[in-house]
Chains A and B, each alone.
Chain A
Amino acid sequence: MVFVNSDPTAGSSDLSGVRAVKLLVAGGFGVGKTTLVTAVSEIKPLRTEERLSSLGSGIDDLTGVERKTTTTVALDFGRITINPEVVLYLFGTPGQDRFWFMWRELSVGALGAVVLADTRRLSDSFGSIDFFESRGIPFIVAVNCFDGAEVYDEAEVRQAVDIDDHVPVQLCDVRDRTSSKRVLVRLLEHLMSVATAGAAPSRW
């Protein structure tokens, strides 16, 4: 546990009992990632930005960078205070796959992920699925059932996206808080079962 520079005599603040954890919500552009985060977050989702060229490459020397054109990538996130000791952050990863895959910091230490898919554009979710599979990050696939979208059952979706049997597939409507909450519950139950199954699998 990293916790330094604490001066017990200064101020009344303490961090010793507090932990922050994160879950990721990934998927293609416009699939409803921010909507899902909004549905369950206790705060209005916030947006943060990072310089594209600094992602995935650690820290580099930026002397003189002010004169260069800077590309940034934004991500939206929400917060759920689980209890006085645990704060959960939900990060909706940027819609442009090629950007967020560079964002190593985002996936390192993540408890797990939701891959949000749209049955009209299932192939948009392949990149996210491959990413989490290759990183050994446990995930579930949540299918956002848009109005007017053809309704598939779980088995059809599972076959279409070619995921292993033990990866849960959950149909949802991310505009609905209860439905979005159910997605998170399903993910966390999956994470529990993976964790209690013993050896953390590196591949699915």
Chain B
Amino acid sequence: MRQGGDDASFELAPGPLVRPFAVTRGRAGKDLHELDIITLVVAVRPEADVAGLDREYGDILRMCQRRPLSIAEISAQMGLLLAAVKVLVSDLIQSGHLIYRSPPPSTTGRPDIKLLQAVLDGVRKL
């Protein structure tokens, strides 16, 4: 599905409903590095490194240069399902192109009061 990248209408046409896992070659991912919807990722390889990568990998690497993005933002910007983005991001983590940081695992622990205070202060300043 990567051939014919010069065909703009082809690139624009298929939405997430049409080809949910075509870009991941049918894989849903067994090892997704515990990626969450708000896991942040950032590129640790220069943009030039996208040469030779499949288009979707290159897109992700480009949008994550020097600014962390969440899985949700990547999904929204690419028009791909969250599950598909997790597979692609996982591949890029595996290959050393991206690093990631997932939120703490669960709500079972007591809330981080310093964190809550920081968020409250930030929202008050809006």
Residues in A lying within 8 Å of B, measured CB to CB: 1-7, 10-16, 18-22, 40, 46-51, 54, 59-66, 70, 72, 77, 79-83, 85-89, 91, 105-106, 108-111, 136-137, 177, 181, 184-185, 188-189, 191-192, 194-196, 200
Pairwise interchain contact B123-A184, C-beta atoms closer than 8 A = yes
Distance between Cα atoms of A143 and B13 in the complex (Å): 40
Q: Which of B46, B75, B99 contacts A49 (CB 8 A)?
A: B75
Pairwise interchain contact A10-B45, C-beta atoms closer than 8 A = yes
Nearest chain A residue, comparing its CB with the CB of B67: A13
Residues of A contacting B98 with CB < 8 Å?
Answer: 5
Residues of B contacting A14 with CB < 8 Å?
Answer: 42
Residues of B contacting A48 with CB < 8 Å?
Answer: 37, 72, 75-76, 82
Pairwise interchain contact A194-B111, C-beta atoms closer than 8 A = yes
Distance between Cα atoms of A21 and B101 in the complex (Å): 12
Nearest chain B CB to A118 CB, angstrom units: 24
Q: State how many residues of chain B have any CB contact under 8 Å with chain A.
A: 63
The dominant DSSP class at the A interface is: mixed
Residues of A contacting B27 with CB < 8 Å?
Answer: 62
Whether a CB of chain A sits under 8 angstroms from the CB of B26 is: yes
Q: Which of B34, B102, B126 contacts A181 (CB 8 A)?
A: B126
Q: Which of A22, A106, A108, A189 contacts B120 (CB 8 A)?
A: A189
Q: A40-B126, A49-B82, A88-B122 are in contact. Are A72 and B107 (CB under 8 A)?
A: no
Nearest chain B CB to A196 CB, angstrom units: 6
Residues of B contacting A18 with CB < 8 Å?
Answer: 40, 68, 101
Residue pairs across A and B with Cβ atoms less than 8 A apart, 11 shown, are A2-B104, A19-B101, A19-B103, A21-B38, A59-B29, A72-B20, A81-B122, A88-B122, A111-B119, A184-B123, A195-B111
- Report the 3 A-B pairs with minimum CB-CB distance, sorted nearest first: A82-B122, A46-B76, A62-B28
Nearest chain B CB to A31 CB, angstrom units: 21
Nearest chain B residue, comparing its CB with the CB of A71: B17
Residues of A contacting B123 with CB < 8 Å?
Answer: 40, 80, 82, 88, 181, 184-185, 188
Interface centre among B22, B110, B122 (most CB of A within 10 A): B122
Whether a CB of chain A sits under 8 angstroms from the CB of B32 is: yes
Distance between Cα atoms of A80 and B120 in the complex (Å): 12
Nearest chain A residue, comparing its CB with the CB of B33: A4
Distance between Cα atoms of A3 and B68 in the complex (Å): 13
Whether a CB of chain A sits under 8 angstroms from the CB of B117 is: yes
Nearest chain B residue, comparing its CB with the CB of A63: B26
Nearest chain A CB to B83 CB, angstrom units: 5
Q: Which of B72, B107, B120 contacts A136 (CB 8 A)?
A: B107
Nearest chain A residue, comparing its CB with the CB of B76: A46
Distance between Cα atoms of A54 and B34 in the complex (Å): 15
Residues of A contacting B66 with CB < 8 Å?
Answer: 12-13
Beta-carbon contacts under 8 Å, B3-53 to A: 16-17, 19-22, 26-30, 32-34, 36-46
Pairwise interchain contact A7-B96, C-beta atoms closer than 8 A = yes
